[in-house]
Amino acid sequence: MNILVTGGAGYIGTHTCVALLQAGHQVVVLDNFSNSHPEALARVEQICQQRIPVYQGDVGDADLLEQIFTAHAFDGVIHFAGAKAVGESVEKPLYYYRNNVTASQTLFEAMQRFGVNTIVFSSSATVYGDPHAVPILEDFPTGPTNPYGRSKLMVEEIMQDHARADQTFNGIILRYFNPVGAHESGLIGEDPNGIPNNLMPFIAQVAVGKRAQLAVFGDDYPTKDGTGVRDYIHVCDLAEGHVKAIERLHGQAGCHVFNLGTGSGVSVLEMVAAYADASQRPVPYAIAPRRAGDVAQCYADASKAQQLLGWQAKRDLRDMVADSWHWQSGNPDGYRSSSDSE
Ligand code: NAD
Ligand code: UD1
């Protein structure tokens, strides 16, 4: 299949481009590099020994989409482009609604004009808000607690409405749990701007010596050791989930919703111990107050994806931390480590 990958230069997008190319598909990337670096795509080309057509621009730019859809015959779209920082979304909600919701709508309109019906959309477990139980099933009530989460749910709802109105539309909504890790080559990985908000990249920067210690946000949750529990999923498993989803469901009209997680919960302190073990470096930490908006535990029931997509996460926590460390230790300043010093 020939697939347009929006946000293909980002963390999950790069790993998915590798998985798609290695499965024999072709990709065209559209990215405005607002949260990524062109070097990331050069690394994808290096891993796959293949050139990738890249358009630099905004997914909300209807004229650019017209140009891209005219130049290429796509079988489908995988739509990663969007902004993803919860705190920033509270500060700049209008930006989040424009960049995540309005831009997605512009993309759906372009697809309809060109008769491209299949789209895979990056949603998030954040749409469940504070779940009433774990593990979380796809039919649990939704209730995101911040503008980022609401932007994801709004796009899901647009897709559901569009599927009801247009019998040819094939929308695949993937709700990711917590993507971590990196490609086994150590060439691509997560490269956050500034101080990382998320646990794994923060721990990685502590282990590599860029930050002194981790603040553990709360040790009084009703969990196995009092710290927050999440469903961490290796980014390469997640990438393979996209390949399976588009291969299995291509052209099947309607909206299809899947959780992509491992189904097991890992605490903050378990993650710290696993990382210290893999890196053979100390990961100093201090207990800090709870972070506003955090839930005690969040993990998936991913059996629907297993049954209908034939997909299951294969990599365990040890693989996640080992691959994260391989990437982080080889690229302590992310993609800037190589390109800006040349
Ligand atoms: P990322 O920031 O690394 O990648 C997003 C990419 O999209 C970046 O390369 C950025 O430059 C690009 N982009 C942003 N807005 C754009 C626009 N308007 N036009 C063109 N390009 C644009 O993020 P990621 O972690 O790879 O996440 C990919 C998607 O998955 C996002 O939609 C995110 O909300 C969603 N998601 C991520 C996580 C996570 O923890 N990483 C969890 C759940 C869902
Ligand atoms: C966060 C986002 C969520 C998003 C997800 C994946 C918030 C409130 N939620 O979720 O919307 O979908 O990332 O991108 O930001 N932790 C620490 N110290 C740290 C960082 C995190 O103790 O420095 C703890 C957190 O309290 C949590 C766990 O580690 O218990 C995981 O945190 P994080 O990686 O930020 O992911 P989520 O909270 O699941």
Domains of the chain: 2-190+233-261+301-314+334-340 (3.40.50.720)
d(CA 88, CA 341): 30
Q: Could you tell me the distance, in angstroms and rounded to a whole number, from the CA of residue 33 to the centre of ligand 1?
A: 10
Cβ of 230 less than 6 Å from ligand 2: yes
> What one-character DSSP code corresponds to residue 59?
T
Q: Centre a 10 Å sphere on the Cβ of residue 33 and count the other Cβ atoms it contains.
A: 14
Residue 239 structure tokens? 């990438």
CB neighbour list of residue 341: distance below 8 Å, 6 or more residues apart: none
User: Which residue is listed with tokens 């050069």?
Assistant: 42
Neighbours of 299 (CB within 10 A): 24
* Nearest residue by C-alpha to atom 31 in ligand 2: 199
Q: Which amino acid is at 307?
A: Q
Distance 6 CA to ligand 1 centre (A): 9
pLDDT in tens, the chain (342 residues): 999 999 999 999 999 999 999 999 999 999 999 999 999 999 999 999 999 999 999 999 999 999 999 999 999 999 999 999 999 999 999 999 999 999 999 999 999 999 999 999 999 999 999 999 999 999 999 999 999 999 999 999 999 999 999 999 999 999 999 999 999 999 999 998 889 999 999 999 999 999 999 999 999 999 999 999 999 999 999 999 999 999 999 989 999 999 999 999 999 999 999 999 999 999 999 999 999 999 999 999 999 999 999 999 999 999 999 999 999 999 999 998 765 543
| Any atom of ligand 2 within 6 Å of the Cβ of 226 | no
Taking only the tens place, the pLDDT of each residue in 239-257 is 999 999 999 999 899 999 9
The answer to whether 240 touches 308, Cβ cutoff 8 Å, is no
Q: What is the pLDDT of residues 73-103, one digit of tens each?
A: 999 999 999 999 999 999 999 999 999 999 9
